[in-house]
Each structure stands twice: as C-alpha cells, then as structure tokens.
Amino acid sequence: MKIDILKCHGSGNDFIIIDEMDEKYSFTDEERVKLTKQLAARNKLIGSDGTLFIQHSEQADARMRMFNTDGSEAEMCGNGLRCVARYVTEKMGRDTVIIETMKADLEVARVEEIFENIPTYEVAIEPVSLSPDIIPLKSDEPEHIDKPIKELHPSLTFTALSVPNPHIVTVVDEVNETDVRQIGEKANMLKEVLPNGVNVSFLKKVADGRVFVQTFERGVGLTNACGTAMSASSLVSCLLGLNQFDEKITVLNPGGMVQCLVHKDGQGDYFIRLRGNATYEFNASVKIDFSNPENAEILEKTAYEEEILNYAKLAEAAENMA
Ligand SMILES: N[C@H](CCC[C@H](N)C(=O)O)C(=O)O
C-alpha cells in the first residue's frame, strides 16, 4: 500500500508523522509497529526517533499515539506533540487545539517565535507525578528526590518522576555523553527497580534560568533532545533550587533549545509548559507490503529546505549559549 508521511522534528528529536484522521489508512497496532521498525530504523529507509500516528478523537480535536524505534508505545512525547500541534492546527485552521494523549487531553497552541522564522508551539506536559507507584520505581519512600539508586550507580543521585512517561534526572557539573549512554542502558535493564523502563537525563546548570540536558531515551537510545525529559528536568531544577517556579527556563540540548515553565499549585500539584520549534523536513510517499515490510520503498520526496536552513541558525545560536 502507499502511505503519505511527513518527516519533522522538535529540537532535533525527529519523527515520522502519519495522518490517520481521515481514515485513508486503518492500521492494526501490529502494522503500526511494523511501520515504525521499518521507517524509523536509522539503517533502513528513512530513520527517526519514532513515529507519530495522528488519529480521529471522540473527546478532543485529534489523538496522538507515539511509538519508539523499538516498537514500544510511549505515554507521551513532548517534542512530538509540538509537531502534531503544528500539523493539526494548520489542518484545522486554528491556533489552539486539544490533543488526546494516552493519559490526558492536552492543550497545544501556536505561540510567538522563540527564534527568527521558527514555527513555535507550546504544549502542556501532564499529568506529572513524583509517586514511585505511578512512575513506576521500586522504593519505600513517598518520593525519590535527589537520592541514589544504588543498583544503578554508587554515588550519582537521581530524582524520579513521570510526566507521564517515566524519567530519572541527575544533576552533574559536566555532561559526559558516554556516561549518559551507559547509565541509560543500565537503567533500562533494571526491571526490578524500573519495571516499565525509563528515560535517563543528565542536567547541568549553565546560568540562572538556563540548563543543558542530554537524555538516553527508553526505546530509542541517545537522542538530540527529549521533550518530556527537558520538561521533567526543568521541574527537577526547580525542586533542587537551581531554578525558580513560574519563571522561564531555557533548556539547551545537543539538538538546539526549548523553553519550559514549571508551576506548583496550592495543592502541591505540578504543571509544565514546553515551548519550542516544530520544523518540517520533508514529505514523502512510502510503498509498503506488510507481509514483506523489508521491501518498502520511497516513491517521492519533497524537502522543506528553507525551514531546515532556518532551524540550523537556531541550533547554532543554542550551541553558543551552552
Ligand atoms: N522515549 C520516550 C518517548 C518519546 C519521548 C521524547 N521523544 C519526547 O520528546 O518527550 C519514552 O519511551 O517514554
């Protein structure tokens, strides 16, 4: 069959969008996993950090389902949600829509550019929880804030939370990519401690209101950026007194930069807003036979050359801020 795809990214965290809203396609979950493994694999047809299926929703303007490159479905995807926000708002001719995600219906909106000529969107990252039962994390404590996980590392301290996918964040003086990868791989093998796996982020404070975050993503590996991780890391930076609630936090990453705002209400609940680019890279049509997906082929491809160049300028500016 022939499938239209849109290649896009949020802060260099790239995805393949497939629009199922008009029911031109009606895939089974098995087919969505096959599509993800065939199209997202870096050594095959296209390569991305996952796929985003946009579907009709009975309760919101649209529904987003995100699959990691290993075929696992995630509860949430912050960078991907900004790309979905752009696609759906442009398709509906609106600036604000509600997107159904696995655990919540989230408000998304086009907002003022964070950098010249960069389509910019803001999304809610919710629900947030520090409860080990919800993360899930094996722990006898009601919260795991800035504490060791002895099974993972003898001295690093971590804060664990779900937004609502699972995250652990450690604060270091310098971020070493090898450490991020090694701790990330090990954390995702500790199923007795983190039964559903986990996204692992290393955070460095650069200046007041500015941090650098690098993440090993569950089901993917090291990525340029992870939206939910940058959101989770922003909350952790406020919990540890490195940043202030209700003040803009610039989060730098290997793929560029985003902005987060963290709010704590009177009941002790947390709310995170993630603002950043939604950049289109190319449209393409893919021909695939699900009985033999390895033989999939790209039929045509049209690049968004100006958008790619505009984003490169943001990435360069962000590199100089780190
Ligand atoms: N790998 C993540 C899902 C993608 C999250 C990331 N791409 C983002 O932008 O939040 C997980 O399994 O929880």
Query: One of 77, 83, 238, 260 is an active-site residue; which one?
Result: 77
With a cut of 90, say whether residue 322 has pLDDT above it: no
Asked whether residue 195 is assigned to any structural domain, the reply reads yes
Q: Which atom of ligand 1 is nearest to the CA of 13?
A: 7
CB 51 within 8 A of CB 18: yes
Helix, strand, coil percent values for the chain (each to nearest 5) = 20, 35, 40
With a cut of 90, say whether residue 16 has pLDDT above it: yes
Asked whether residue 130 is assigned to any structural domain, the reply reads no
- Centre of ligand 1 to C-alpha 76, Å, is 6
Asked whether residue 132 is assigned to any structural domain, the reply reads no
Q: Which domain holds residue 69?
A: 2-122+278-321
Residues in the chain: 322
Give the pLDDT band (50/70/90) at residue 246: very high
Residues 187, 202: Cα–Cα separation, whole Å: 13
Asked whether residue 174 is assigned to any structural domain, the reply reads yes
Per-residue pLDDT reduced to its tens digit, 18-68? 999 988 888 999 999 999 999 999 999 999 999 999 999 999 999 999 999
Among 51, 180, 217, residue to substitute to test ligand 1 (most atoms within 8 Å of Cβ) = 217
Q: Are residues 245 and 151 in the same domain?
A: yes
- Centre of ligand 1 to C-alpha 199, Å, is 7
Q: What is the average pLDDT score of the chain?
A: 97
38 membership: H or E segment, kind and range? helix 29-39
Q: What is the mean pLDDT of residues 253-266?
A: 98
CB 301 within 8 A of CB 281: no
Q: Can you give the CATH number for the domain in which 21 is found?
A: 3.10.310.10
Radius of gyration (Cα) for the chain, nearest Å? 19
Q: Are residues 284 and 193 in the same domain?
A: no
Q: What is the mean pLDDT of residues 230-249?
A: 98
Per-residue pLDDT reduced to its tens digit, 291-316? 999 999 999 999 999 999 999 999 99
Q: Is the C-alpha dihedral spanning 56, 20, 164, 123 positive or negative?
A: negative
How many CA atoms lie less than 13 Å away from 262 in the CB half-sphere?
A: 26
With a cut of 90, say whether residue 228 has pLDDT above it: yes
- Centre of ligand 1 to C-alpha 217, Å, is 6
Residue 226 bears catalytic tag: yes
Residues with CB under 6 A from ligand 1: 13, 49, 66, 68, 74, 77-80, 165, 199, 217-220, 226-228
CB 236 within 8 A of CB 215: no
With a cut of 90, say whether residue 173 has pLDDT above it: yes
Task: Give the chain's domain count.
Answer: 2
pTM greater than 0.95 (yes/no): yes
Give the pLDDT band (50/70/90) at residue 130: very high
Per-residue pLDDT reduced to its tens digit, 61-119? 999 999 999 999 999 999 999 999 999 999 999 999 999 999 999 999 999 999 999 99
Q: Are residues 270 and 288 in the same domain?
A: no
Among 165, 180, 253, 274, residue to substitute to test ligand 1 (most atoms within 8 Å of Cβ) = 165
With a cut of 90, say whether residue 189 has pLDDT above it: yes
CB 219 within 8 A of CB 226: no
Asked whether residue 140 is assigned to any structural domain, the reply reads no
Instruction: Please give the pLDDT value at position 23.
Output: 81
Asked whether residue 141 is assigned to any structural domain, the reply reads no
CB 10 within 8 A of CB 260: no
Q: Are residues 242 and 315 in the same domain?
A: no
Q: Are residues 68 and 173 in the same domain?
A: no
Q: Are residues 40 and 24 in the same domain?
A: yes
Within 10 Å of residue 59's Cβ, how many Cβ atoms?
Answer: 8
Which one-letter amino acid corresponds to residue 214? Q
Query: One of 8, 83, 226, 238 is an active-site residue; which one?
Result: 226
Q: Are residues 107 and 155 in the same domain?
A: no
Task: Tally DSSP H helices, then E strands, for the chain.
Answer: 5, 19
Q: Are residues 28 and 105 in the same domain?
A: yes
Asked whether residue 131 is assigned to any structural domain, the reply reads no
Per-residue pLDDT reduced to its tens digit, 148-161? 999 999 999 999 99
Q: What is the mean pLDDT of residues 121-148?
A: 98
Q: Are residues 81 and 95 in the same domain?
A: yes
**ipTM exceeds 0.95, yes or no:** yes
Residue 260 bears catalytic tag: no
